Structure 1
Amino acid sequence: MLKKWLSDASLSTVVAGFVAVLVGFTSSAAIVFSAAQALGANEAQTASWMWALGLGMGGTSLVMSLWYRQPVLTAWSTPGAAVLAVTQGITLPEATGAFMVSALLIMVAGYSGLFERWMARIPLALASALLAGVLARFTLDAVGAVGQAPVLVLCMTGAYLLGRRFFPRWAVPGVLVVGMVVAALQGQLNAAQMVWAWATPVWVSPEWRLGAMVSVALPLFIVTMASQNLPGVAAQRSAGYNTPISPVIGVTGWVTLLLAPFGGYALNLAAITAAICMGREAHADPARRYTASAAAGLFYILLGLAGASIVSLLAAFPKAMVLAVAGLALVSTIASSLSTAMKDEGHRDAALLTFLVTLSGLSMAGVGAAFWGLLVGIVALWALPARKA
């Protein structure tokens, strides 16, 4: 398989794989970092998260792309990380147990072939509203960061707007670069915290608590399947590829299960970054574009091995910069999710309630807002009469 990849690969596919990894990593690494911190992970444990996620994404992307000879790119669950980052009252061992339960649910949904039929029972409007409510909290935090570091955040916002106007693919990396430059000029980068070292896996023994299963495992499973895997399947189909979905989803589940104690909280099919590997820019011949996602897998593995350096780099950034990067990186996703949530007149009221409850950060009986938002939306969908256009 490797020999075939070497003969089919080209400079354009390797570059496409690198760009996919760069865009995917810089657009959401800050959110994963925030999720680890919210659960009480120390620096070594956070580095272990990067190690596990990098090796998980890299290994699954590389092996499945070479096996199927089609572009199969996986990613960490960005909305899943957002759910974790706003979760309260859950310890890291309890969260680890929840990661494993979510992974088992993903395996069942994948290998059983029930994925598409099961997820179809949750209206797309509610899933989109749930995602928008979770992610919007990050954008609100970014707005609040203006008060902490106005020059830094406003410069980053300007870079984002210019990037979206003139080079949309590079908008988020551009924001990160501008933020680093401005923070350095203001003396806000703590270079003393930077440690260049390879990541070391850190085992966290899982603990099992019902509250964590309900407030972490279930929302993590739902947003990963509905907001990540569904678009990932759509991206493959729209590009003309018919990769067998059930075994691919199943593989992401069991790899997550293996890596969960080390911080591999959720893996799924990629959509936006996968599109970079599936486009004509990667290669004119669709049959050779799998080499782009395989190259991306190799780059992800390297990033995972360097996880300790990445964590120390993120720790050196001022908090306002991390908040701004995370918030600006999610603006497009939030807008798209809200558009989808409000599109269907019949589901609009239920979707709005789901969004508002999720955005509120409500926590009752140790169960987080994502669950209550979805529950309120489902009840509202049943109880309220459908809107008429």
Structure 2
Amino acid sequence: MTRPFPPLQTISTGLVVAVVGFFSSFPIVLQGLSAMGATAPQAASGLMSAALAMGITAIVLSLLYRQPISVAWSTPGVALLAVSVLPVGGFAEAAGAFVCAGALTVLAGMWQPLARLASAIPTTLAQAMLAGVLLPLCIAPFQAAAELPTQALPVILTWFIAGRFNRLFAVPAAVIAAAIVVILNASDTGIAPDQVLTAPLWITPTFSLASAIGIGVPLFVVTMATQNIPGIAVMRSFGYEPKPGPLFASVGAASILTAPFGAAATCLAAITQAMCSNEDSHPDPSLRYWSAIMAGVFYCILGIFAAAITGFAAHADPLLMATLTGVALMGVLANATHAALAVAEEREAAVITFAITASGITVFGLGAAVWGLLAGGIVYLLSRKTS
């Protein structure tokens, strides 16, 4: 039977989860949406919709299954968007690709062959593709340090020093440093009263085969491989037995519902899942689901003020925002690179996947991530046949 009130410890855990989850990656979300052609109001709507989607989905699923089911936006997915080519149809076509990725996730949850196919993609290749996507973004802070040292270096140093004490709070600390830099350097950082609360904006999705294959499929693959499947594994490592199919279908449905409002992809969390599931969440495993619920509540609150956050970020120099994005992804790049090269027999295929993805090429309207995964997959299969 559900307790009428959450234990105090789970409230504090939920707050920490929301702060870490939101402020560690919201610059990446904004950069990814902007790269897809979103205007500032559309990006604010997308950020709000993504926060509400992961908050509400976490609340509903955690209450339904009495398990700590932490939900997130796809940080690797929006990083992929940030280095993808702008669709011909602009943000409306990108929204159509978001719908396609969500539909594939729902299908993976309801139809086991697709889930098995997604799981069958070698981890080394999926991580190599992710590393290739992240490399240009993680180089940006050092390029910014050379071009804009007075603004970029304080953020980099804050991130590095804070990370020596607590890695989870390194990026939120960098966000605070960036906010101080913006206040000191911008002539006007005020937010108009009508910009405090976020208004949802409807973007009618348009669909094309090129965006479905070039954006939707890679978004689905990277989200499944680096978020959804690991999220299930993390829950199981703490003794929970989630049903993958309904969870995949649920986050996929949330993605479809929020795509017309600008949100890219909703998925199961991995890092914050561990925060909600371990003994620091609550000594009693049967009560830890409250941590995920409270995190969902705080995500929703932060989402309501997404316009103010986006408006403040608009006053920052683009190089400063690129610096913030890069340091936020540095740990993800390190983990992806390690995982990509972990199996000696698969390194050649992984390196080819990485190199092609990092090249940023576009051929026949399809981006580098598609060609990288395809070429790496061919090398992987040929290597297995000849070994």
- TM-score relative to the length of structure 2: 0.95
Contact 2:340 2:347 in 1 (8 A): yes
Q: Where does residue 113 of structure 1 map in the other structure?
A: 112
Q: Write the letter of the residue equivalent to 1:163.
A: A
TM-aligned CA distance change 1:193 to 1:367, over 3 Å: farther
Pairing of 1:272-291 with structure 2 (within 5 A): 272-291=271-290
Contact 1:277 1:289 in 2 (8 A): yes
Q: Where does residue 370 of structure 1 map in the other structure?
A: 369
- 1-side partners of 2:179 and 2:172: how far apart? 11
**Are positions 1:41 and 2:38 aligned together?**
yes
Contact 2:17 2:272 in 1 (8 A): yes
1:44-74: per-residue Cα shift (whole Å, max 9, x none)?
A: 1111102211211111000111111110111
Q: Write the letter of the residue equivalent to 1:53.
A: A
SS in 2 for 1:268: strand
Give the C-alpha shift of residue 116 in structure 1: 5.0
Give the C-alpha shift of residue 151 in structure 1: 2.5
- 1-side partners of 2:73 and 2:329: how far apart? 15
Q: Where does residue 261 of structure 2 map in the other structure?
A: 262
Contact 1:96 1:260 in 2 (8 A): yes
Give the C-alpha shift of residue 40 in structure 1: 1.4
Pairing of 1:6-17 with structure 2 (within 5 A): 6-7=4-5, 9-17=6-14
The counterpart of 2:18, out of the listed 16, 21, 28, is 21
Q: Which is further off, 141-150 or 96-105?
A: 141-150
**Are positions 1:241 and 2:244 aligned together?**
no
Q: Where does residue 30 of structure 1 map in the other structure?
A: 27
**Are positions 1:361 and 2:322 aligned together?**
no
Contact 2:119 2:225 in 1 (8 A): no
**Are positions 1:381 and 2:380 aligned together?**
yes
- 2-side partners of 1:238 and 1:99: how far apart? 30
Give the C-alpha shift of residue 205 in structure 1: 1.2
**Are positions 1:151 and 2:174 aligned together?**
no
**Are positions 1:66 and 2:66 aligned together?**
no
Give the C-alpha shift of residue 120 in structure 1: 2.9
- 1-side partners of 2:120 and 2:178: how far apart? 42
RMSD between aligned residues: 1.8
Pairing of 1:61-100 with structure 2 (within 5 A): 61-90=58-87, 91-100=90-99
Give the C-alpha shift of residue 183 in structure 1: 3.7
Q: Where does residue 49 of structure 2 map in the other structure?
A: 52
Contact 2:48 2:306 in 1 (8 A): yes
Give the C-alpha shift of residue 190 in structure 1: 4.0
TM-aligned CA distance change 1:48 to 1:183, over 3 Å: closer
- 2-side partners of 1:189 and 1:145: how far apart? 21
Q: Which is further off, 263-272 or 152-161?
A: 152-161
1:263-310: per-residue Cα shift (whole Å, max 9, x none)?
A: 122110001012111121111111111000000111111122222112
TM-aligned CA distance change 1:189 to 1:127, over 3 Å: farther
1:190-236: per-residue Cα shift (whole Å, max 9, x none)?
A: 40456542111111111111111111011001001011111111111
Q: Which is further off, 311-320 or 201-210?
A: 311-320
1:326-374: per-residue Cα shift (whole Å, max 9, x none)?
A: 1111111111111111010111000001011111111111111110110
Contact 1:193 1:315 in 2 (8 A): no
Q: Which is further off, 34-43 or 108-117?
A: 108-117
Contact 1:95 1:212 in 2 (8 A): yes
Could you tell me the percent identity over the aligned residues? 36
Structure 2 residue ranges without an equivalent (≥5): none
Q: Which is further off, 114-123 or 73-82?
A: 114-123
**Are positions 1:104 and 2:120 aligned together?**
no
Give the C-alpha shift of residue 385 in structure 1: 6.4
- 1-side partners of 2:345 and 2:19: how far apart? 39
Contact 2:27 2:325 in 1 (8 A): yes
SS in 2 for 1:330: helix
**Count of residues in correspondence between the two structures:** 384
Q: Write the letter of the residue equivalent to 2:27.
A: A
SS in 1 for 2:226: helix
SS in 2 for 1:75: strand
Q: Where does residue 177 of structure 1 map in the other structure?
A: 176
1:112-142: per-residue Cα shift (whole Å, max 9, x none)?
A: 2346522232100000001111111211122
TM-aligned CA distance change 1:147 to 1:200, over 3 Å: same
SS in 1 for 2:120: coil
